Structure 1
Amino acid sequence: MELTKRMEELREDMVESLKKFITINSVNPAFGGPGEREKADWLEELLRGFGFEVDRYDVKDDKGMWRSNVVAKIPGKNREKTLWIVTHIDTVPPGDLSLWETDPFVPVVKDGKVYGRGAEDNGGSMIASIYAGKVLIDLGIVPEYNFGLALVADEEAGSRYGIQYLIEKGLFRSEDMFLVPDAGNEKGNFIEIAEKSILWFKVTVNGKQGHASRPRTTENALRKGAQLITEIDETLHRKYPDRDELFDEPLSTFEPTRTEKTVDNVNTVPGRFVFYFDCRVLPRYDLDEILSTVESILDGRGAELEVVVKQPAPEPTPPDSELVVKLSDVLRSLRGLEAIEETDEWFSFVVEDDGPGIEDPERVFDPFFTTRDPRLRKVGLGLPFLKQATEQTGGFVKLHTERGKGTRVEARFNLKSVDCQPVGDVAGALASLVLSGPGVNWYIIRKKNGNGYEIDTIKLKEKGLWDPENPGFAAFLFETLEDLEKELKGGENNE
């Protein structure tokens, strides 16, 4: 494909651009950094040089520093709709420099990867999105709708001067689509359709300063704070324990992350101690309830609570939305990756063949239609029943067929729905499936929560390991699949 060929030709240019990205310090000013302006200047120059339409949206923050946002577009055939790729220019600080093997602002290329501050969060995705647009421009391709890049400020500290500022400026339309490549996995097949709520809070603990040799005349704010950190940590984890496998980290997280300086010398008991928590909370929990829990712990103990960032989670993106479907199709066609797998909340499967295709796809969900000999069966209930079973759980069935090329059926069940039927015997179903058609080659990918196994009958035949004519083979295949399924379920026998 011409697009991928051109992208491969630009590989080294992308590496060099990412290395340049890393060398420009853009640590968020909220953490003592210089901000985004210098890096935004370089990005603007790069984008203009590639032929993008570019605009700047700079705004002064409450400290009087300029915060820079860069917006670039390639006009599409439909000028009323835009696919936006949103990435952020700012980074967090590098932390303790002694824990780095190299200077965080001097990029290192090692084992096919680029290392440095901001290489992953969010430079790699930003550079990739810029070069995706460059490929369109280089090849003279006009996209179906506008291709937009929003390179924003302040993502690491609440987004007030970044994406929120652009929203307030009326930059986006309700029909636009948004892709935010700020998370994922190493394989690149994780499509995140939901976010947790974000809560950062600060606790100031008051005591009485004095000499460490006379502790009875003091009240050690550091000791009080350490006790409060432990109590808040344990209480929040105990009170909000739910899991949701839709998220890469399925639990709510409550992490003490930062403290402020107390005293300069060892022999003084601090009279003031300040600490912070970073909380990433499942959408089912109310942030105000969590804050009330913290307040109840602090009550009467000489401590004050301050909310630093509070962002309730937005509604999840439907898994059958236009952009999710397009991304899934691209992953499948270009990289051979299946984007949907089983979690503790969803069970999905895809059946795809390279057969002749379906002659009358509009009627396949009609229970009174079948292509079989009517003397044998006058109804076709398989796909209609599947459609009913998925939709009553809040899931879906999608069918794509093309004459002479094959058919693809994708189904998804919500396992948390009271109307969801049990998943059943996956090992037995797969064994029966592959043994029922000895002349058919099967390639099966089975995953759950990121783990899984594959069955490729062509490779097994090449290695002489596929022998369905052997009387003991069926039992061997079933036992092997059953063991693999038990491993996926952590040794349990039931879904």
Structure 2
Amino acid sequence: MSRTLQLTEQLISLPSVTPEDAGCLELLADALTPMGFACERLDSGPEDFRVRNLWAKHTATQAAIKSDKPVLVFAGHTDVVPPGPLKEWSSPPFVPMHRDGKLYGRGASDMKTSIAAFVVAVDEFLQATPEPAFDIAFLLTSDEEGPSIDGTKVVVETFKKRGERLDWCIVGEPTSVKRTGDMIKNGRRGTMSGKLTVNGVQGHIAYPQLARNPIHEALPALTELATTVWDRGNDFFPPTSWQISNIHGGTGASNVIPGHVVIDFNFRFCTESSSESLQKRVHEVLDRHGLEYSLVWTIGGQPFLTTPGVLVGAVQAAIKDETGLDTELSTTGGTSDGRFIAQICPEVIEMGPPNASIHKIDEHIAVADIEPLKNIYRKTLEQLQRQQTTLTTAA
């Protein structure tokens, strides 16, 4: 059994459903400490929803008064989504099992294999390169699948206050489609939700002249919002999308005009629009239609984009060398903790195994994908080492 597979199985066996870490971070800290990492816990949140966060930095940097080396961070989450009905699993979700060349267990693809591959790849790299030209760190949390309030988000705020420097970040999200390395995410759309309450006047449905139907009044504005072209996207992002997710109105009786209607909607927006500009345009539409309303906004994350450069180039070269694939750059899909890290790190990408089984019953990963994933991470480190050594020599 390879070291990567062994560590993956150890992590899967720990039932770390959000926000529980179930000992994953202790296991990882025990692996990183002998490699020369100083491990710092930055736990956060109330006692009944305590989030565990680990910041591990190579002690070569910790011991220095000031390091001017660039910093590469491997970021990920130890928490997993609930397994769902246990009787529907072919084997217990927190007992790693092998069948037909696949490793089954909750977190196998999202994203305990990536974390194990991070650790082993860094160990192999440091054994061959004990004094790298850049510093290496890990940022791991137990709150990515949940509210994402006291995890990476709060760690980033701590880093802002103390001036922690990050230059490159690889998030181990499962980004591949068919083969490990066939797709990486070099950005993500922003997400912003709105809860719109349109007020009317409740009354008897037989006397509409004595009432004011907020559903009828809201529909023209909603139609305009649904047909608005918010932007046209760009070379990396599709156009911004506005979608209604829920509409709640009425008393439950068929003869009562409701007094208000509540509409939940969401923007998935690209770098061509900002949260401020989108909010302004929505209010303009609602005001123009003369609605009596209130609107509460929730910003889940701003969009980020890493254009091809040092990090993207290193990962692309590593994937090509290990698999022969010309990887596809993509910004599709949902959000990740990359949206928080991008606030303090100029180059953030996501790269991990195939994602076809994530969050599903019988989540799994092909065993044949595990060592190539670890090798891609290690070869990325080697690519960055060659780049930085060349720059240092040239200087």
What range describes the TM-score normalised by the shorter chain of this pair?
0.5 to 0.7
Aligned to 1:240: 230
Deviation of 1:325 after TM superposition, in Å, equals 2.3
Match of 1:180 among 151, 165, 171: 171
Aligned to 1:417: none
Distance in structure 2 (CA, Å) of the matches to 1:306 and 1:116: 39
Deviation of 1:293 after TM superposition, in Å, equals 2.3
Aligned to 1:13: 6
Matched, 1:195 2:188: yes
The DSSP-based 3-state class of the residue aligned with 1:47 is helix
Task: Kindly provide the amino acid, as one letter, of the partner of residue 276 in structure 1.
Answer: D
Distance in structure 1 (CA, Å) of the matches to 2:119 and 2:138: 8
Task: Kindly provide the amino acid, as one letter, of the partner of residue 28 in structure 2.
Answer: L
Contact 1:50–1:134 (CA under 8 A) maintained in structure 2: no
Contact 1:44–1:54 (CA under 8 A) maintained in structure 2: no
- TM normalised by structure 2 equals 0.61
Rg comparison, structure with higher value = 1
The DSSP-based 3-state class of the residue aligned with 1:337 is coil
Task: Kindly provide the amino acid, as one letter, of the partner of residue 71 in structure 1.
Answer: W
The DSSP-based 3-state class of the residue aligned with 1:67 is coil
Aligned to 1:70: 54
Distance in structure 2 (CA, Å) of the matches to 1:312 and 1:295: 20
Deviation of 1:208 after TM superposition, in Å, equals 5.0
Contact 1:76–1:142 (CA under 8 A) maintained in structure 2: no
Aligned to 1:277: 265
Contact 1:84–1:147 (CA under 8 A) maintained in structure 2: yes
The DSSP-based 3-state class of the residue aligned with 2:23 is helix
Deviation of 1:309 after TM superposition, in Å, equals 0.8
Aligned to 1:389: none
Distance in structure 2 (CA, Å) of the matches to 1:92 and 1:232: 37
Change (3 A) 1:19 1:215: farther
Aligned to 1:60: 45
Deviation of 1:283 after TM superposition, in Å, equals 0.7
| Superposition pairs of residues 63-102 of structure 1, within 5 angstroms | 65-75=49-59, 80=67, 81=69, 82-89=71-78, 102=89
Match of 2:219 among 204, 213, 227: 227
Match of 1:328 among 270, 292, 316: 316
Unmatched tracts of structure 1, length 5 or more:
1-7, 27-35, 344-495
Match of 1:42 among 18, 23, 32: 23
Distance in structure 2 (CA, Å) of the matches to 1:16 and 1:262: 51
Deviations 1:275-310 (A, max 9, x none): 333322121223322212221333332332211116
Matched, 1:106 2:96: no
| Superposition pairs of residues 65-464 of structure 1, within 5 angstroms | 65-75=49-59, 80=67, 81=69, 82-89=71-78, 102=89, 106=93, 120-133=109-122, 142=130, 144=132, 145-152=134-141, 154-155=143-144, 160-170=149-159, 173-174=164-165, 176-182=167-173, 184-186=175-177, 187=179, 188-208=181-201, 216=208, 223=215, 227=219, 231=223, 234-235=226-227, 238-247=228-237, 250-258=238-246, 271-299=259-287, 300-309=290-299, 311-314=301-304, 316-321=305-310, 323-339=311-327
The DSSP-based 3-state class of the residue aligned with 1:301 is coil
Aligned to 1:406: none
Percent identical among aligned pairs is 24
Higher relative contact order (CA 8 A, sep 6+): 2
Change (3 A) 1:155 1:200: farther
Distance in structure 2 (CA, Å) of the matches to 1:207 and 1:93: 41
Deviation of 1:251 after TM superposition, in Å, equals 3.0
Q: Which moved more, 1:171-180 or 1:110-119?
A: 110-119
Deviation of 1:84 after TM superposition, in Å, equals 0.5
Distance in structure 2 (CA, Å) of the matches to 1:156 and 1:224: 38
Distance in structure 2 (CA, Å) of the matches to 1:44 and 1:56: 9
Aligned to 1:383: none
Distance in structure 2 (CA, Å) of the matches to 1:220 and 1:126: 54
Contact 1:198–1:311 (CA under 8 A) maintained in structure 2: yes
Aligned to 2:381: none
Change (3 A) 1:128 1:259: farther
Give the RMSD, CA atoms, in angstroms. 4.5
Unmatched tracts of structure 2, length 5 or more:
332-395
Contact 1:257–1:278 (CA under 8 A) maintained in structure 2: yes
Deviation of 1:335 after TM superposition, in Å, equals 1.9
Distance in structure 2 (CA, Å) of the matches to 1:252 and 1:190: 22
- TM normalised by structure 1 equals 0.50
Change (3 A) 1:48 1:158: closer
The DSSP-based 3-state class of the residue aligned with 1:87 is strand
The DSSP-based 3-state class of the residue aligned with 2:187 is coil
Distance in structure 1 (CA, Å) of the matches to 2:143 and 2:100: 31
Task: Kindly provide the amino acid, as one letter, of the partner of residue 86 in structure 1.
Answer: A
Deviation of 1:14 after TM superposition, in Å, equals 4.4
The DSSP-based 3-state class of the residue aligned with 2:43 is strand
Deviation of 1:58 after TM superposition, in Å, equals 1.8
